[in-house]
Amino acid sequence: MGKKKDYQLNGQLCFDFNTNTEHYVVQSNELLEGKQNLKLNSAKIVRALIMQIKPDDEELKSYFISVQELAKMLHISAANLYRDMDTITDDILTNHVAIKDYQQGKFMKIQWVTACAYEKGVGLAVKMNPLLKPFLLGLQERYTQYQLENILAMKSVYAIRIYELLMKEQMTRFIPADGVSVILAIKTIREACDCETKYEKISQFKSKVIDIAVKEICRCTSYTVSYECLKKGRSIEAFRFHLNSKYNKI
């Protein structure tokens, strides 16, 4: 991969941004399950950054992408991206992922990037946080992968997060003609979407999070998805999602 006009970030040359969205986003399950509060376009950019990583990379590199290329990747106009770049870069730079330490029962907070520079009319340069290396490099087990193109047209960050959770649960399974079922606890979804204190009524949670996510996954990916509520007593504690490939003949 070549350099982009010798563009530098903190004295380090930036690599060209690979815009082939058929490539895979590969991350550890610990990272995927972490609490995340990125806005929609910020979440897409972070996934696009993760897609840049090669299997033999030993360090997390700096990357540069032009505004025109980024707008095309995000399915938005360049004019809107120019308008929103300050907000997006602030969101990426100041946000963190909270990764759960199951042994100690606490969360470790790590910022996504250590540097994020936007040059008006030129493009965006980003350096991912080296503290994320154990969750992104040299992964041999407990990881999830999917093609970036599957999430780029989504209009809800909750759809991205629930899609990732579903891919984590089914990625090693062959999908038969009648599909597969994946059970996700409400607590798991709330933590992953960082909406533990939002939409406290289950009707709100279903309409604002679950229903929108299912609609977007069906619209944007190669899967069809439906769900049903699982109750314990009178309370809904989980959802059973039914996934099938659009390529399967039912």
Q: pLDDT digit string (tens) for 135-179?
A: 999 999 999 999 999 999 999 999 999 999 999 998 656 788 889
Residue 172's domain is classified under what CATH number?
A: 1.10.10.10
Distance CA 24, CA 144 (A): 10
Q: The tokens of 9 are what?
A: 């970030």
Please list, in sequence order, all residues whose beta carbon lies within 8 angstroms of the beta carbon of residue 35, skipping any fewer than 6 positions away: 97, 98, 107, 191, 192, 194
Look at residues 39, 32, 35 and name the one whose alpha carbon lies nearest to residue 193. Answer: 35
Predicted confidence at residue 127, as pLDDT, reads: 95
Q: Are residues 125 and 167 in the same domain?
A: no
Q: What is the pLDDT of residues 41-63, one digit of tens each?
A: 999 999 999 999 999 999 999 99
* 8-state DSSP, 156: -
Q: Given a cut of 50, is residue 3 above it in pLDDT?
A: no
Helix boundaries (H) for the chain: 29-33, 40-51, 67-74, 78-94, 133-136, 149-152, 157-170, 186-193, 202-205, 211-220
In a domain, 144, yes or no: no
pTM of the predicted protein model: 0.93
pLDDT at res. 173: 62
- pLDDT above 60 (res 78): yes
pLDDT at residue 84 greater than cutoff 80: yes
Say whether both 224 and 176 belong to one domain: yes
Q: Which domain holds residue 122?
A: 3-136
pLDDT at 230 over 80: yes
**Are 64 and 181 part of one and the same domain?**
no
Q: Look up residue 76 and give its two tokens.
A: 């938005």
Residues 130 and 175 in one domain: no
Q: What mean pLDDT comes out for the span 13-34? A: 95
1 has a pLDDT exceeding 70: no
49 and 159 share one domain: no
With beta carbons less than 8 A apart as the criterion, state whether 146 and 243 touch.
no
Residue 2's pLDDT band (boundaries 50, 70, 90)? very low
Rounded Cα distance between 139 and 104, Å, is 23
- CA distances for 110 relative to 26, 130, 195, angstroms: 18, 10, 18
Domain count, the chain: 2
pLDDT tens for 190-202 read 999 999 999 999 9
